[in-house]
């Protein structure tokens, strides 16, 4: 996992880049308090980075971020980054199949209202799934069978 995984804080220009705890404590970059629970934030426009407490996170970003929500958005960003990595591996190993799926996702028309985008579902399966190539190939073969029938 790279250290570049970040999660946008609400609709602000600020991104959460890390949540840390420290026994010794660190001084908040916004107020004089010593903190044990630290939120690393970065402004995507100015590039400014700060380590603040959750209260000062609101003061700095203008967004109220509950602790559980902070953990959730950072975890979701890490999962999305991992899935993008797996998809990139798949694309490198099977460029034609990846291109076919991307094209199908774009041109998908549901057969009935509410029908899921099946090629998108297959792409997500691959991105979420195990990386052995035999698994990928099986998933693609299965998709091609239903697609062409
Ligand atoms: Zn503070």
Count of Cβ atoms closer than 10 Å to residue 21 Cβ: 9
Q: In this structure, are residues 41 and 92 in contact, taking their beta carbons and an 8 Å threshold?
A: no
Q: How far is the CA of 53 from the centre of ligand 1 (A)?
A: 5
Phi and psi at 17, nearest 5°, equal -110, -15
More confident residue, 113 or 131: 113
Give pTM, 2 decimals.
0.73
Cα 82 vs. chain centroid, distance in angstroms? 7
Q: How far is the CA of 15 from the centre of ligand 1 (A)?
A: 17
Q: How far is the CA of 31 from the centre of ligand 1 (A)?
A: 4
Residue that is last in its domain, among 45, 76, 107: 76
Q: How far is the CA of 44 from the centre of ligand 1 (A)?
A: 20
Q: How many domains does the chain have?
A: 2
Full residue range of the structural domain in which residue 40 is found: 7-76
Look at residue 149 in the predicted model and tell me its pLDDT.
62
Among 47, 53, 48, smallest CA distance to 27 is for: 53
Q: How far is the CA of 77 from the centre of ligand 1 (A)?
A: 25
Whether 60 and 118 map to the same domain: the answer is no
Whether 120 and 70 map to the same domain: the answer is no
- Res. 147: pLDDT tops 90: no
| Residue 129 maps to a domain | yes
pLDDT confidence tier of residue 1, bands split at 50, 70 and 90: very low
Whether 11 and 72 map to the same domain: the answer is yes
Residues 6+ apart with CB under 8 A from 1: 78, 81, 82
| Residue 119 maps to a domain | yes
| Residue 86 maps to a domain | no
Q: How far is the CA of 82 from the centre of ligand 1 (A)?
A: 32
* E strand intervals along 65-146: none
Residue that is last in its domain, among 41, 76, 111: 76
Q: How far is the CA of 30 from the centre of ligand 1 (A)?
A: 5
Q: How far is the CA of 69 from the centre of ligand 1 (A)?
A: 19
Look at residue 131 in the predicted model and tell me its pLDDT.
64
- Residue 55, helix vs strand vs coil: helix
Q: Encoding tokens for residue 110? A: 């549901």
Q: How far is the CA of 37 from the centre of ligand 1 (A)?
A: 11
Q: How far is the CA of 55 from the centre of ligand 1 (A)?
A: 7
**Model confidence pLDDT, tens digit, residues 67-112:** 999 999 999 999 999 999 989 988 998 899 899 999 999 999 988 9
């Amino acid at each position: 996992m790279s250290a570049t995984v970040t999660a946008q804080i609400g609709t602000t220009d600020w991104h959460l880049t890390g949540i840390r705890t420290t026994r010794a404590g660190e001084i908040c970059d916004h107020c004089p308090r010593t903190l044990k629970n630290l939120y690393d934030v970065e402004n995507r426009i100015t590039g400014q980075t700060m380590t603040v407490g959750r209260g000062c996170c609101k003061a700095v970003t203008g967004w109220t971020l509950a602790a559980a929500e902070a953990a959730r958005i950072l975890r979701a960003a890490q999962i999305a980054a991992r899935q993008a990595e797996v998809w990139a591996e798949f694309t490198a190993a099977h460029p034609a199949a990846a291109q076919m799926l991307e094209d199908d996702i774009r041109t998908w028309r549901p057969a009935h209202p509410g029908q899921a985008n099946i090629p998108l579902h297959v792409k997500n399966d691959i991105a979420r799934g195990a990386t052995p190539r035999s698994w990928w190939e099986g998933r693609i073969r299965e998709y091609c069978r239903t697609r062409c029938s």
